[in-house]
Structure 1
């Protein structure tokens, strides 16, 4: 059975049994505890936590997931995968253990002609939590499992929670016995290679505290409503139903390996386990990388971007180790697109952008490999010069961590030079880095604070947002909150949260700042609204400062948006859409927005792009944007479902979560169509002028445009005009001649600086003869060691040292020059004559003699060494230390 058919049957079974089908969420959700969505239940967390009422009593989804905790283990075994699909069925306070077990057992064991998967019931086992007698009895009653095929396991295996305070509950897992050829008998507790887990049922009923029941600690309470979260691993089921040994040989993964075989001429499963690991890394990471980029991540050096970069670079590394030197990521991307797009059609429609990002990252990494190779060669040369045969672990780690140079390529190149690598030292440093990363991730994890006060208010109904139609709304105060506690009232000067049943004030979302405004009562109380946020996307929470009077729960109020603020806010948000559309028109459809922020008069827009925009391109984007403003394009709003929005070609923002009914904002019809909940102008001309401030990098593969709109754009242009006029007056030329005159002045200044530099360098070198004449004899060696004038840079200092050395002639000689710089820094150069080197005096080996005195670092070859130190006050001591070292040589 093909993988796409496995997914279809799961979805249809649960839809037929009253579950609402929910599309997979993006891999990128705003969750402080997760880099990527790693389980099917993540998008439903607000419902399990009770932070919001579930829109349906039961749901089903096929969720794309990425787990990256063991990237380095991928490929070494056939059980580790970074990308996988989790088929899930969920109950939000509806059915519980019995029906969950009934559904799982029926779908697994029903014949394929009846829509099931046709697993042999006699080969299925179940596990239950240590003391879950109820689940054990249900397995016997519903599935007819004999007790010897139901095993109890402790919390580490059969208790689920999110790793932080919040919901949890016992698990029950279903395993398939693959037969004695795959391992020993005895059920899952004996061998999880033979007995393969295919389904996990979580009976979510507990609230865990700081200490997890996984470690034997008791829950601190019970959830108000019991929930079901069950998941079936699509890839694992595919491996079983397709009769292959592991997921790498299934219909959606094996084609990537086949492409790697075609390109390398080597064969997977041909008896070379090292090659097999590389094939599996390529297959796994190609799918993961493609899916992650598809959801809006670009390679970078932090967080998600860094994980993506590691995945893509591991592919390139593995392919090179298979003997392929040419670029490959585009080829693998095409295979993943063809295999995965039946389930994820966006991979086909968005393929040009995805492939472009993968290709550019590969180009960057190939350049990194070239520079890393040069750094390795220098390190290897020094080892050979010093008569050593082992590359230190810290140098291998530096190559890996700083330059992105993989350790296995370091090992390979070292072997080619007849050298070894201190792998133990490297692994220790890697382990320290992982420990720091895990500690950092743990420090960012947060529990789910007490949201009960908002749950109480949500139970009274959602806040009705009226701000699309009006700026003033009559409303009722349904709750006053401070520090998570309900208040009956508050007086002048107090800061608190006010929840209304209706409001025209926009809550911060979609990159748009919240509205400014006021809330007033009939008795004369005035509350200044300083912020508006949404809880569970349903409840508007107004943070206010009571300016006068008193506010009480239940009071009738008037909520009013500051009209000037709203005018500017609409201009900023509509301007963002216009600039985005202009960007795509100029650069092409791959230049997709990846983030934005807008407020009255200002906008910024982040987008995926690998290089800086030329001045001509920025001018074109600005011109296209202002042409759209001048054309007075109509702005319309269409409400539809996600399928309808996709048919319209509406752009969805990466990482955003959308309701079943979505709002599409059109500017000029198809020219700009985006899913958006923000406030907008009625016609593009109301945006006013758009003036780009600049464009900059916000990480590898990501750029940022900033602009003023409306009156703020006018003020900015007025300042620019005044600046040009002032310059023209100072230079006594017309405005249009200012650029040429400034360019001429800059050229004259540069020429003058070059002439001064030549004079200074000449004067410096002219002193070489005098310095050589001052050489002192130290045990037959001519030593020139002294402090030269401050501020001489490394290049000039090196030239002077070499010239002094040349003046020493054929005698043994050592030249050591020091120059103090800013902040107590010091630069130094050591040069030796050929005769000195013949006598065993190597420049690089003399540095340690004086380095402690100036807190120096650096080194070099026998003839020349240079570096820097942090203690210029120790130069005198350094000269003495060098003299002493020569005297004792």
Structure 2
């Protein structure tokens, strides 16, 4: 076996399959693009679904990749086991309808055992196969030469995710030897594929050959596929003879840095502290890559996962004696480990560090706030003579305040309370169920369609230069069948050439008409999309006879098209302005370019201020007024990158690309349509800015005519306001409104004075009506004041005059009730608490409340219950 670094193993894998004719697909972002079924990219095949379900035909049916992935279903086990991770790398080779079992098995064996590659000892490798997959078993036995004891039949070796591609699989295991056997020799799990540490699974070959249909039957796929995955961390642990994945060069540099920060505790000191080192090393890897890909900590979705990982790592840091923010110091360590294949972490180091440090410091504040809340809960449990901290209280601290469960349990147990673990798990499961229910119900992978996948005719887009062309109708599709003619209904058409833009890169498809040689409109184009092999597929409403092989005139709706291209160029300009104002981290996270408006989503970890929006809007309009030329050139991807061209989110670029250059100010890769000069846009106006998810914000804007109409609408509304405030001119409206506000303040001040006088007059009456019960004097009265604030003013007077031991006041307005209870030291010394009394009487007015021992307040919605609430004071005093 060769001694290799993790970077060498990764590169060898990609080089091997490149030598077998595979195209190396770069590792995609951890954030899925156009896939609502996934929270994270969780495997090597996750980014290739479009090829497997036939919606897109790849340029090369042989693909290989090293894909960073995140799985979060086992976060609690990270650090406790040898191989659980949140972020891991899956090395894979894939065939889309090309080679199948024979090549996949032979190549896996060659890569693992050949002296030129990994040089594993063949006698230490075992495989499992699906019992009914006689072909795979034959290949392993007859062609590879494995003995029967090295081939194990396992019933579970069938890959199936519901409707869609499925098939048997064959797993490869490495025998680490008796020293790693963690169970008895005669244990039934002591075999490759069983639950043991000796036989380590390193590779899974999936032979995707069936369509799992919705009725739970299986039919052969029209194109058989190969999907394999080899875990980098596992293979490296074998090569580097590491007991667990954490003792490899993928994690040890992080662990050593944590030792340095801890100072007093070292890796290997104890099993418990080792768990903390492992958790920190694992979680900071996931955090660094996820934040670099645009995910940000928050209280929902992906952001919730990141916040949980970071807080878990911080708590384990405290167990190692690290009390200050430290995780951000590990980001460059992660970057240097991975830079040979993932340079983006070091490229974005400053931004990632800033996000991690801000979140760490916020969490340290949360810990202090959470402790205060937790202590109140514990005190309440003890007051009620309880012995157990309820599961729902643990969950509320965890879910609402972000307070770690393990810390809650530790503090509770220190206070002598038991902990309702089962109740907490019930609440957690309910949350998981809610999240799962909210996830898209779409299939995780579609079923292949022969028709579109097998269409090979050539179709070319000419809309960059011509928006009306004469072109031959090559194919007509009606209800998933090819037809030669159609006279009515709807259809999908493919032409030899088309001026209609297919929906891509956020730009909506062109609309328009199709006209025959006699000038008759025979179809309206309502949508255009790309077929799996790249042809432009026109969805049309048929108005007249259409025949395959006939020439037609294709005419784009110029009005909609011209409005769309203005918005598209404005989107590029807004993207550049965003980066100038907010910083280089503000990356596109999706867009929509339509005729009426544009929508731009971007990553940003804070609020966008009004001043920043004004600045962006100003920058875009200034560039419009400068009349900058917009030049689009076609070049190769490397030349485009050398020009400084910026790639857009979610777009896949081939060797040849189009670069949109706005006078060297904004340079982006883009296949869409654009104006020739920025002055064509006319005017740019931001309509709104809002947060739409975890660390993602959205700007909506309009240009040209729509921008003018927006200004006209706002001017009309301002004229209406001017009329309402009787301002003779619009420019005087602000002064007029300001004068009215000053008048309102003076009137409000007079009202407050009058209300205070009224309250004082009532005080002189109610403060004389003192009652007594069990040696405690109290006042219980309804007063006519406007709000809780005036009730508190009356309570202040009562306190200063030392009139009674307890004060209970009620007031009602607009069918709402306010209650206030105050107690002096004598009442508190006798064991009475204002909060207890308010909770006893508030239900009488259909309300609830609470507070401190000396003062509490409540709100209610049943004014008719006030007399009963006041009468209940005496009953409560007698009972207590």
Bigger drift between 393-402 and 24-33 goes to 24-33
TM-fit CA distance, 1:415:
5.1
Please state if 1:678 is matched with 2:672.
yes
Distance 2:761 2:200 in 1: 81
SS of equivalent residue, structure 1 residue 24: coil
Contact 2:568–2:598 (8 Å) recurs in 1 = yes
| Residue of 4, 13, 16 corresponding to 1:13 | 16
CA distance in 1, matches of 2:208, 2:627: 54
TM-superposition CA deviations, 1:682-724 (whole Å, max 9, x none): 2222222223334333345333333322232233344455666
Cα deviation for residue 666 of structure 1 reads 1.8
2:751 to 747, 756, 759: 756
Q: Does structure 1 residue 188 correspond to structure 2 residue 192?
A: yes
Q: Could you say what secondary structure the match of 1:767 adopts?
A: helix
| 1:444 partnered with 2:441 | yes
Matched, 1:135 2:125: no
1:286/1:333 contact within 8 Å kept: yes
Q: Is the 8 A contact 2:499 2:556 kept in 1?
A: yes
Q: How many residues align?
A: 868
Distance 1:351 1:365, change over 3 A: same
What do the CA deviations read for 1:328-361 (whole angstroms, capped 9, x no partner)?
Answer: 2321211111211211122233333333333333
Task: Structure 2: give runs of 5+ residues left out of the alignment.
Answer: none
Shift in Å, 1:230: 1.4
Q: Displacement of 1:407 after TM fit? A: 1.2
What's 2:621 paired with?
A: 626
Partners of 1:300 and 1:668 in 2: CA distance: 38
Compute the TM-score of the two structures, normalised by the length of structure 2. 0.90
The equivalent position to 1:81 in structure 2, one of 85, 88, 102, is 85
SS of the counterpart of 1:568? helix
Alpha carbons 1:813, 1:835 under 8 Å: kept? no
Determine whether 1:2 maps to 2:1: no
Deviations 1:614-637 (A, max 9, x none): 444333322322232233323223
Which residue does the alignment assign to 1:102?
106
Once residues 143 and 629 of structure 1 are traced to their aligned partners in structure 2, the CA distance between those partners, rounded to angstroms, is: 67
Is the 1:801–1:831 contact (alpha carbons within 8 Å) kept by the matching residues of 2?
yes
Matches within 5 A, 1:145-156: 145-155=146-156
Q: Secondary structure at the match of 1:572?
A: helix
Q: Select the residue among 641, 649, 653 that pairs with 1:646.
A: 641
Residue 613 of structure 1 and its aligned partner are, at CA, apart by 3.7
Deviation at 1:103, TM superposition (A): 0.6
**Inter-CA distance 423–518: structure 2 relative to 1 (3 Å threshold):** same
Deviation at 1:200, TM superposition (A): 0.7
Superposition deviation, residue 109 in structure 1: 0.9
Q: Is the 8 A contact 2:810 2:817 kept in 1?
A: no
Q: Distance in 1 between matches of 2:692 and 2:329?
A: 28
The Cα shift of 1:376 comes to: 2.4
Contact 2:128 2:154 in 1 (8 A): yes
Number of the residue aligned with 1:214: none
Q: 1:715 aligns with which of 701, 709, 713?
A: 709
C-alpha displacement of 1:402 = 0.8
Is 2:468 the counterpart of 1:468?
no
Matches within 5 A, 1:782-801: 782=777, 784-785=779-780, 788-789=783-784, 792-793=787-788, 795-801=789-795
How far is the alpha carbon of 1:403 from its aligned partner?
A: 1.2
Residue equivalent to 1:817: 810
Contact 2:164 2:447 in 1 (8 A): no
Q: Which residue of 1 aligns with 2:344?
A: 346
The Cα of 1:611 is off from its aligned counterpart by 3.1
Q: Which residue of 2 aligns with 1:246?
A: 244
Instruction: Measure, in 1, the Cα distance between the counterparts of 2:22 and 2:448.
Output: 27
Which of 24, 43, 50 aligns to 1:46? It is 50
CA gap 1:460/1:107 in 2 versus in 1, 3 angstroms: closer
**DSSP 3-state at the match of 2:26:** coil
1:373 is displaced (CA, Å) by 3.1
CA shift, 1:10, in A, is 0.7
Tell me, yes or no, if the aligned pair for 2:568 and 2:674 is still in contact at 8 Å. yes
5 Å matches for 1:239-638? 239-383=237-381, 390-414=388-412, 421-441=419-439, 444-446=441-443, 452=449, 455=452, 459-461=455-457, 463-477=459-473, 494=489, 497-522=492-517, 524-536=520-532, 538-546=534-542, 548-551=543-546, 556-600=551-595, 602-638=597-633
- The alpha carbon displacement at 1:491 in A equals 6.0
Q: Which residue of 765, 778, 782 corresponds with 1:770?
A: 765
* Secondary structure of residue in 1 paired with 2:268: coil
Helix, strand or coil at the partner of 1:639: strand
Question: What is the alpha-carbon distance in structure 2 between the residues aligned to residue 765 and residue 177 of structure 1?
Answer: 88
Which one of 189, 197, 203 corresponds to residue 201 of structure 2? 197
Partner-residue secondary structure (3-state), 1:698: strand
- SS of equivalent residue, structure 1 residue 617: helix
Q: How far apart, CA to CA, are the structure 1 residues paired with 2:629 and 2:377?
A: 64
2:163 to 128, 143, 165: 165
Inter-partner Cα distance in structure 1 for 2:872 and 2:528: 67
Query: Which digits, 9 at most, give the CA deviation of each residue in 1:200-247, with x for residues without a partner?
Result: 111111111348xxxxxx752110121111121111111111111122
Question: How far apart in 1 are the matches of 2:874 and 2:813?
Answer: 20
Aligned mates of 1:240, 1:450 — CA distance in 2: 38
Q: State the Cα deviation string for residues 434-488 of structure 1 (Å, max 9, x = none).
A: 23333444x62426566637526x5143643222221123345555667766777
**In structure 2, how many angstroms separate the alpha carbons of the residues matched to 1:564 and 1:410?**
63
Residue 612 of structure 2: SS of its match in structure 1? helix
> In the alignment, is the contact (CA less than 8 A) between 2:211 and 2:447 conserved in 1?
no
Secondary structure at 2:767's aligned position in 1? helix
Question: Is the CA contact (8 Å cut-off) linking 1:525 and 1:551 kept in structure 2?
Answer: no
Partner SS, residue 829 of structure 1: strand
CA gap of 1:852–1:737, structure 2 versus 1, over 3 A, is closer
Query: How big is the alpha-carbon RMSD for the aligned residues of Structure 1 and Structure 2?
Result: 3.2
3-state SS in 2 of match to 1:830: strand
CA distance in 2, matches of 1:239, 1:755: 79
Q: In structure 2, how many angstroms separate the alpha carbons of the residues matched to 1:820 and 1:726?
A: 33
Structure 2 CA distance for partners of 1:250 and 1:644, relative to 1, 3 Å = farther
Gaps of 5+ in 1: 212-217
| CA-to-aligned-CA distance 1:535-589 (integer Å, 9 cap, x gap) | 448344444445x445566664332211121111111010011111122223332
